[in-house]
Structure 1
Amino acid sequence: MNTQHKKTPGKAAFAGWIGSAMEYYDFFIYGTAAALVFGKIFFPGSDPAMGVLLALGTFGVGYLARPIGALFLGHLGDKYGRKRVLVLTLLLMGVSTVLVGCLPTYESIGIAAPIMLVILRLCQGFSASGEQSGANSMTLEHAPDHQRAYFTSFTISGTQAGLILATLVFLPIASLPEADLLSWGWRIPFWLSLIVLVVGYLIRRNIEETPVFQEAKESKQTAKIPLVALLRDYKADVARVAMAAMVSTVSTLFGIFALSYAVNIVGVERTTMLWLTIITNIVALFAIPLWARLADQIGRRPVYLFGVLASGALMTPFLWSLGQNNLPLSFVLGVLMSGVCFSAANGIWPAFFGEMFSTKVRLSGMAIGTQVGFALSGLAPIVAAAFMKGSTPWLAAACLALVGCAIAAVATWTARETYKIKMDDLGRHPGANDHGPQPNSLNIQLKTAD
């Protein structure tokens, strides 16, 4: 390691945490508004169920932009540096979110209103595609070899903090009289994003580039076209990440579908469901680093696999309890499913996925793989809403969670174990021919694989 490029894991973890919290505050307030408000102000001509469906559709649109953004931002981060991606994504997300709060409603300008809403949501999705992969790459490459899962987990804790902040901001807004909520109240959380934008920018502009990337750049070892190297040597890993990332179906169904279903169909109070979200994510704040520490001790695969299987299995009883309007049971199952079990997968994917790739293509590999998986998962709420029929309107959502988690479990089972491999040897396996001779790293991987 070049002595002029020192690792600063604490500083990188804090920057990743605060930046992710700021950026995902923006992303999550859109989801909450889509579930509670947008159907009434941007699609008022539809019946209530169709209005909810269309509003959730605009939420899903943001996920469609993610794979496209991942191609561009992954290339930018692997060729020019992680820091540029982190600043760009923050600015794009912040400006898009503030502008959502300034939009006129359907009543004011007609069809142009939902069209502009969709465009801004696409910008949010484009930004989010590079945010976590950039922050995760930055933190992973600064972390000590034996604590990579722990330090990278702080970027995910940041997203949980952003969700908590977004929900807390919406609590007093959701308790407003409906006329006030629909006229001006819903705009306030989006306007507050301006503060988020300024604070996040001041923090991220002072981040140091990672030592391993700086050394690769100085020795001219960065890929000329990262996407070409990625598709040449890591196709299987990109596909594996995309499939494993489909565990996020649990997150989108819990955070968006369950909220909309409980409030609009079952008749649960808006503030009650928002409190469930807050409590769940407070639990996750503590659970995520604990699961990450365990993954540093016993490996990525067993912890991730537990999170996938347990959270997928708990979705059915959770949705059933909501349908029965059994709120105490819903709170227990919701916290257990999303706060505890899902955190086992959610907290360690930055290390688990990032360690599949070399420095040359790490940001591209994580961004493209995760965003394809997240895009598919992001469509789950609208698909589930479209099939809300019969005496068990939640059944489609439960089935989608099971299918998504089954796919993720298969992908996890086929992955290599990487928790004992040194940073310089990550991503080196048969087929990755852009690294030159690598007998020692190959031996290490064969020993740690099943």
Structure 2
Amino acid sequence: MQATQSTAQPRRAAMASFIGTTIEWYDFYSYATAAALVFGPLFFPGESRLLGLLASFGSFAIGFLARPIGGVLFGRIGDKLGRKRALMGTLTLMAVATVLIGCLPTYAQAGWIAPVALVALRVLQGIAVGGEWGGAVLLAGEHAPKGRRTFFASFAQLGSAGGLILSMLAFSAVSRLEPEAFMAWGWRLPFLASAVLLAVGFVIRMSVNESPEFEAMQASGDVAKQPLAEAFKAWPLIALAIGANVYGIAGVYFSNIFMISYATQYLQLDRAMILDCMFWVAVLQFFVQLGAATLADRFGTRRMLVILAAFAVVVPFIMLPLVRMGESHTVFAGVAIATLAESGYYAIIAGFVSGMFAARIRYTAISLSYQVCGAFAGGLTPLLATVLADRFFPLWWPMAIFYAGFAALSLSCVLLIGRSRPVADEPALDARAA
């Protein structure tokens, strides 16, 4: 009976992490997609397309700036009271904020109250996802069989692809409405659907036991009293972890979010066609992440990260010319090539980074490193890319250099982590982090 339970719990924890993060990222990506398509004219109207789009992406970026708050808040809960308890809180907060966004009046209906309320709810979304990621990675990774942390932790990362697929399906469906209906009420439906997803997520997460590593800490009395203060003592590692995460975050938001607005508003490509392409890219992303995690378990996580980040430096010089051709197959091919690098890197960076820190501060440390990175690399990437597109259009190379730059930064940080920790694989890192 015990053997059956010990086999079932790691799989159940991986599935619960995947389902939970899928719901969280569905909500987060729904806002991002709406920011690219409708929030500008509905909540930030004006004569300038650029200013409306920048204001919309600015509200998107605010959610990222709130993510470190969520990482610290729920990191403390997760390190002191348990991973599972923190995750139930993040799921509830995200779903409530998302449903309320779907109920908001527009600027035409409520004036300045509408954008202020939108930004406030976006902040709550940011706090929720800021606490979600670290807990989901740990719930799966700390239940994992020995030597398989990277693979099991990657199931939390799969939620990004799963959430993007659901979000693209939802917006692809409502975008087929008449333009007037889509702008009037169609865009609200993906947000309101979050209420159903919340119920599903709750049931699944309640079926998972607390992390064995956290239970062992509780039993030994080794629970950190001040997780944040202890985490700051490891600030050189946190700084390297922030840099290592940059490409996994910025690359995805460049290709999956900025490219929607670039293709539809600058290249004047059909909105439904772009969303269809992004849906199939999200499907590809899902399978690439599974494949990359499997290869990392076999050949070494750091080796895979170095290969993928090095490839990413040349990716934008292939992707952007293909997208600019404007055909559905060239748009898909361009973004798909980027997805091979981005998704593979994103899938395995979580297990790599989580192995850098001791279990007693791990929730706080990895949440802080990931969410501080997300505040800048994720929130500002669509904004800065939009400024470059508007300033240099029709030239594409400035955006390619921007993309190559953040890939090179992550490559450098992964190499530095490897030098400071000469053993390449996560089990060794785990032992040294304690």
TM-score, normalisation: structure 2: 0.93
Which residue does 2:240 correspond to in 1?
A: 240
Partner of 1:21: 22
Q: Is the alpha carbon distance of 1:240 and 1:127 closer, same or farther for their aligned partners in structure 2, counting shifts above 3 Å?
A: same
Higher mean Cα deviation, 85-94 or 67-76?
67-76
Is 1:306–1:344's contact at 8 Å kept on the other side of the alignment? no
Gaps of 5+ in 1: 429-450
Q: Is the 8 A contact 1:253 1:397 kept in 2?
A: no
- How far, CA to CA, are the matches of 2:31 and 2:406 in structure 1? 23
- Report what 1:374 is aligned to: 374
- Equivalent residue for 1:405, pick from 392, 404, 407: 407
Whole-Å Cα distance in 1 between the matches of residues 35 and 429 of structure 2?
Answer: 41
1:427 aligned to which of 414, 417, 433: 433
Provide closer, same or farther for how the CA distance between residues 37 and 348 of structure 1 changes in structure 2, counting only shifts above 3 A. Answer: same
Contact 1:25 1:162 in 2 (8 A): yes
Residue 399 of structure 1 deviates from its aligned partner by 2.6
1:336-351 matches, within 5 Å, as 336-338=337-339, 340-351=340-351
Could you say which residue in structure 2 is the equivalent of 1:36? 37
State the AA in 2 paired with 1:226.
P
- Structure 2 distance, partners of 1:73, 1:182, is 36
1:289 to partner: Cα distance? 1.8
Within 5 A, what are the aligned runs for 1:246-285?
246-247=246-247, 248-285=249-286
Provide the C-alpha distance between the structure 1 equivalents of 2:398 and 2:40, rounded to a whole number of angstroms: 21
Deviations 1:378-406 (A, max 9, x none): 21111121232234354443232122111
Rate the CA distance shift 1:392–1:426 in 2: closer, same or farther, 3 A.
Answer: farther
State the distance in 2 between where 1:420 and 1:126 align: 29
Question: Would the aligned equivalents of 1:300 and 1:348 in 2 still touch at CA under 8 Å?
Answer: yes
Alpha-carbon spacing, 1:212–1:381, altered in 2? closer, same or farther (3 Å):
same
User: SS of the counterpart of 2:38?
Assistant: helix
| 1:326 CA displacement | 4.5
Please state whether the residue corresponding to 1:268 is helix, strand or coil. Answer: coil
| Distance of 2:180 and 2:413 partners within structure 1 | 48
Structure 2: tracts of 5 or more residues without a match: none
In the TM superposition, 1:49-448 aligns within 5 A as: 49-232=50-233, 234-247=234-247, 248-338=249-339, 340-378=340-378, 379-387=380-388, 388-392=390-394, 394-415=396-417, 416=421, 417=423, 419=425, 421=427, 425-428=431-434
Check conservation: 1:98, 1:190, Cα contact below 8 A. Answer: yes
Greater Cα shift, 29-38 or 65-74: 65-74
Task: Tell me the percent identity.
Answer: 33
- 1:321 Cα deviation from its structure 2 partner: 2.6
8 Å contact kept, 1:21–1:160: yes
Change (3 A) 1:420 1:122: closer
Task: Answer whether contact 1:310 1:342 (CA < 8 A) is retained.
Answer: no
Distance 2:320 2:429 in 1: 42
Cα offset, 1:13, TM superposition: 0.5
Report the count of equivalent residues: 425
Tell me the secondary structure at the aligned position of residue 394 of structure 2. Answer: coil
For the aligned residues, what is the CA RMSD? 2.0
TM-score relative to the length of structure 1: 0.90
Contact 1:82/1:137 (CA < 8 Å) preserved in 2?
yes
Q: Aligned equivalents of 1:413 and 1:396: distance in 2?
A: 26
Give the drift of 1:419.
Answer: 2.4
SS at match of 2:360: coil
CA contact (8 A) 1:150 1:292 kept: yes
- SS of 2:46's equivalent? coil
Residue 10 (structure 1) shift? 0.6
1:74-95 deviations in Å (ceiling 9; x for gaps): 1111111100111011001000
Moved more, 410-419 or 57-66: 410-419
Q: Check whether the contact 2:352–2:426 (CA below 8 A) recurs between aligned residues.
A: no
CA contact 2:255–2:338 (8 Å) conserved in 1: no
Residue 229 of structure 1: how far off its partner (Å): 1.4
Query: Could you tell me how far apart the structure 2 residues matched to 1:73 and 1:40 are?
Result: 35
Mapped contact 1:352–1:418 kept (Cα < 8 A): no
Structure 1 position 262, deviation (Å): 0.4
What's the CA shift for 1:422? 6.0
User: Cα offset for 1:335?
Assistant: 0.8
Amino acid aligned to 1:126: I
- Asked if structure 2 preserves the Cα contact closer than 8 Å seen for 1:355 and 1:418, the reply is no
Provide the secondary structure at the position in 2 that maps to 1:171: helix
Cα drift, residue 46 of structure 1: 3.5
Q: Give the structure 1 partner of residue 10 of structure 2.
A: 9
Does the Cα contact within 8 Å between 1:266 and 1:322 map onto a contact in 2? no
Report the secondary structure of 1:421's partner residue: helix
Deviation at 1:68, TM superposition (A): 1.7
How far apart in 1 are the matches of 2:108 and 2:43?
A: 8
Q: In 2 relative to 1, CA 268–420 (structure 1 residues): closer, same or farther, beyond 3 Å?
A: closer
- Deviation at 1:184? 0.6
Higher normalized helix content (fraction of residues): 2
Deviations, residues 349-379 of structure 1 (Å, cap 9, x unaligned): 1210100011101111110001111111121
Cα distance, 1:160 vs structure 2: 0.6
Give the drift of 1:176: 1.5
How much does 1:199 deviate? 1.0
Say if 1:226 and 1:364, in contact at 8 Å, map to a contact too.
Answer: yes
CA contact (8 A) 2:149 2:426 kept: no
Write the distance in 2 (CA, Å) between the matches of 1:394 and 1:62: 28
Shift in Å, 1:423: 8.6
